[in-house]
Structure 1
C-alpha cells in the first residue's frame, strides 16, 4: 500500500541525516570518484583534476540530499560541478570525457538506488515508493547537471579558442603529448622559450579563486630566485604551469626559502627536477605532477614541495594499500597513535636521517641521553635494533608521518 506522507518525510529526514555523516559521505565519494577516475585515466593523471572530481562528487551529493526535503524535484548547479566542466574545456579535453564522468556517476547512483530501496524494508514506508522517489529525483538531477555542464563546457571552449594564451598552451600540450619534435619550431610557438638546455617545471595551485592572479606573481617571484624568466601556461581554474629555462641545472633547493611567502598567500607549488631537452621538459612536468599528487594526499602538506624530496613517497603512494601494510608491519606497535609513540617516531627518524645521536639531539633540541632513552623505547616496540633494517625503518617512518599520522 502507498506510504503515509508523514512516514515518508520522516524516513527521508533520517536517510539524509545518516548519509550526511562524514563517514557515509566519504564512502559515497569513494564509491563514485574511484570508478570515474578509472574510466578517465587522463583525468586521473592530473592531481588537480582528480581532486576536483572528488570535490564535485561530495558537493553534488550533499546538494541532492538537501533537495529531497522539497515537495517537487529541484536542481542547483554546485560550484565544483561547474568548475570541472570549465576545467575540462580549458585543458582541451573533448566533450566525451565530460559525458564519461557523468555516465559513471549515473551508474553509481542507479546501483545505489537498489541499496536504498532495500534499506526501506521493515520501515513504515513502501520500498516501491522509495524506488520511485529516488529514481525520479536522481534522473531529474543528473539530466539537469549534464545539460548545465555541457553549456558551461561549450562556452568555455569557445573562450579558450579565442584567448591570447591559446597558441602557447597548444604548444605546451604538443610537447607534453610527444607530438612536437622540432625544438626550434616549438620554441618559436612558446615565444622564444629555450628548449635545448635545462627546464625545471613547477605546478602552482590555490584553493581560493580570488588568489588565482597571485599564481602568476608567484611564478615570477620563484623565477627571480633562480635568476631567469618563466614560461607560463594557464591550464585554467586554480592552477598554473610554468617552466624555468636555464643553460645549467639550477639549484632548486634555493626555492625552499620561498615556502613562507607562498603560504602567506594561500598558494602551493610543486617542483620537478631540472632536465634537458624536450624529453626533459616533459619529464620535469610529470615529476611536478607526481609531487603535487603526494602533496595533496599528505596529512600536513608543505607550501613548496620538491620532487627530489618526495620521490620515494611518490613511488610508495602509487600502491597505498601495499605501502600501508608495509609500514604497519615494519613499525609494529610503534605505529600506534598517541603522543608518546609520536615522540618516539620523531626521535628515531631524526637518528636514522642524521646518522648520529649528537646530530639528532641538536635537531630535536633535547639532551643526548634523552635521544638514547627514546631510541631504546622505540627499539623495544620495534622488536629489533634500529640499525638492523635502517632503510626499511626510515621509509616506513617517512610514509607514516606523511600519510597515516591521523589514522
Structure 2
C-alpha cells in the first residue's frame, strides 16, 4: 500500500475505466500478497478482501497519478490514508500491521508493475516508442518516489490507528472483548454481577449469538440495530472480529417465540451480508452456547452446495453433525438413494416429492405443499418404489437423512 495522494474512489470505480485494467491487476495481486503476509487469519473472508482491495487500489492510483501514468484521477488523499488506519484498529490488529501492510504493498507494487512492463506511464517516458521499454532513470524515480509516498502515508495511517485505538479504549470495546473472552472460557451458570456492568449488556434472559461478515464496524452495527428494532431485543453487543466476522449478541428479557426468530433470520438474509446465527438460549450458559452454535453454523458454509446468506444453526445442525466427513456422507447418500441422487431435474422432483411425503404422511398434504395434483404424487412415488424397491419405507429415517444431505451436497451420481 502506498501513497499520500491516495483517495477514496467514487462508487463507479468498480467499472473498468479506459486503460485502467492494469490498475485492477496490480490491486488484486497486491491485496492477495498483503493478506498472505500481514493478515493470514483473514484469508478467505470476502468482506475483508473487498475492503483491503479498496485501500490498495486507491493507493495504486495515487502513485500512478503522481507519475503521470495513464489512469483515472484521484482526489482527497488524506481520507483514504486515515480510513485505513482506523479500519486496521477496528479489526483488532496490532500497530505493526499498518506498517507491514505499507511496506509489503510498496515492494509488491514496484516488483509487479515492473514485471508488467510499467503500463500506464506517459508515452514520452518510453524508449523507441516501446511501451515496455522504460528508461532506467524513470524506473529509479518511480521507486524512490513510491517509497517516499509510502513513508508519509504510513505515518498518517499510524496516527489514525493510534487515535482509533484510544477511542476504542475509551468506549470500552477492548475491555468488553476481554470480558467476553472470560465468559466464554468460564464454566457454570452463575454470572459474575460485574460482567453486566462491564459489558453494558444483561446476561439474564435469552440470547441469540450472531456472526456478521461486514466490511467495517459501521456496517455491522447498522445491521445489528435493524434486527434489534425488528425483534424487540432489549440489548445488543458487538465486538470486533477475532477471525473473519464481527461477533454479536442480541439479548431479550423473555423466551423468543419461533415467529420472532424467523423475523430475525429473514432480516439477516435481507441485509445482504453473510451471517450465521445460533439458537435462542437462556442465561449465561445460553450466552456461550448460542455463540458456539453460530460458529458451528458458519463452519458448515463451505461444505454446502448452495448455502443461504444467513445460516441458522437450527436449520443446519444435522449438516454440522454429518458433513465432517464429506466423502463418507456422499457415499451414504448414493447408497441410500441410488439413481435418485442423480443431478437431473427428474430425480430432483422425485426427491422433493419423497421428502414432502415422508414428512407429511399423506398424498393430499404432499400435493398441497408442492402445488401439484395427487395423481402426480402417486406417479412419482411409484417411480421412487421402482428405484428403491418396495420395502424402502423400512428405512424411513435413513431416507430422510439422505435426502437432506443430498440437498446439502448436490451429489451427482457418477
- Stretches of structure 1 that go unaligned for 5 or more consecutive residues are 1-12, 402-407
Residue 123 of structure 2 corresponds to which residue in structure 1? none
The DSSP-based 3-state class of the residue aligned with 2:237 is strand
Q: Is the 8 A contact 1:272 1:286 kept in 2?
A: yes
**Partner secondary structure for residue 200 of structure 1:** strand
The correspondence of residues 228-377 of structure 1 with structure 2, limited to 5 A, is: 229-233=234-238, 235=240, 241-244=248-251, 250=256, 254-259=260-265, 270-275=276-281, 278=284, 280-291=286-297, 301-302=308-309, 305-311=311-317, 341=344, 345=348, 348-349=351-352, 351-352=354-355, 355=358, 358=363, 361-368=367-374, 370=376
Match of 1:63 among 54, 58, 62: 58
SS state at 2:348 partner = helix
Take 1:96 and 1:15, find their aligned partners in 2: how far apart are those partners?
35
Change over 3 Å in CA distance of 1:19–1:118 after alignment to 2: closer
**Which residue of the partner structure matches residue 405 of structure 1?**
none
Q: Distance in 2 between matches of 1:63 and 1:294?
A: 35
Q: Is the 8 A contact 2:214 2:220 kept in 1?
A: yes
Separation (CA, whole Å) in 2 of partners of 1:277 and 1:214: 24
What CA distance in whole angstroms lies between the structure 2 residues aligned with 1:314 and 1:57?
A: 31
- Residues 99-136 of structure 1: CA deviation (Å, up to 9, x unaligned): 455566567657745753699xxx75238869768856
Give the superposition deviation at 1:257: 3.2
CA–CA separation in structure 2 for the residues paired with 1:268 and 1:30:
21
Q: What SS is found at the alignment partner of 1:362? A: helix
Q: Tell me, what secondary structure is at the counterpart of 2:287?
A: helix
Find out whether 1:163 has 2:171 as its counterpart. Answer: yes
SS in 2 for 1:125: coil
Compared CA separation, residues 157 and 69, structure 1 to 2 (3 A): closer
Aligned length: 359
Unaligned runs of 5+ in 2: 1-16, 120-129
- Structure 1 residue 54 displacement after superposition: 0.6
- In the other structure, the counterpart of 1:395 is 405
1:35, distance to aligned residue in structure 2 (A): 2.2
Query: Could you say which structure has the higher helix fraction?
Result: 1
Out of 72-81 and 57-66, give the one that drifted further: 72-81
Matched, 1:185 2:188: no
Counterpart in the other structure of 2:36:
35
CA contact under 8 A between 1:347 and 1:360: conserved in structure 2?
no
Aligned equivalents of 2:18, 2:257: Cα separation in 1: 58
Distance 1:107 1:332 in 2: 55
Higher gyration radius (CA): 2
Partner deviation per Cα, 1:187-223 (whole Å, 9 max, x = no partner):
343357236x764323467679589556325324424
Taking the aligned partners of 1:165 and 1:25, their CA distance within structure 2 comes to 35
Structure 1 counterpart SS, 2:228: helix
SS across alignment from 1:70: helix
Deviations 1:206-244 (A, max 9, x none): 6795895563253244245xxxx32434649x9672243
Q: What is the alpha-carbon distance in structure 2 between the residues aligned to residue 267 and residue 252 of structure 1?
A: 22
Distance 1:128 1:385 in 2: 74
Change (3 A) 1:240 1:68: same
Correspondence for 2:67: 72
Match of 2:132 among 117, 125, 137: 125
Kindly provide the CA deviation profile for residues 10-62 of structure 1, in whole angstroms up to 9, marking residues without a partner as x. Answer: xxx99842674xxx69974884476258x543x56xx9xx4332113432454
Alpha-carbon separation, structure 1, partners of 2:249 and 2:18: 49
**1:193 partner SS:** coil
- Alignment correspondent of 1:216: 225
State the match for 1:17 in structure 2: 21
In 1, are the aligned partners of 2:306 and 2:408 still within 8 Å (CA)? Answer: no
Distance 1:25 1:360 in 2: 55
What is the root-mean-square deviation in Å for CA atoms of aligned residues? Answer: 5.8
Shift of 1:160: 1.7
| Contact 1:169–1:233 under 8 Å retained in 2 | no
Q: Distance in 2 between matches of 1:168 and 1:188?
A: 10
For the 8 Å contact 1:52–1:80, the answer to whether it is kept is no
Q: Distance in 2 between matches of 1:335 and 1:142?
A: 56
Q: Is the Cα–Cα contact under 8 Å of residues 183 and 278 in structure 1 kept in the other structure?
A: no
Residue aligning to 2:124: none
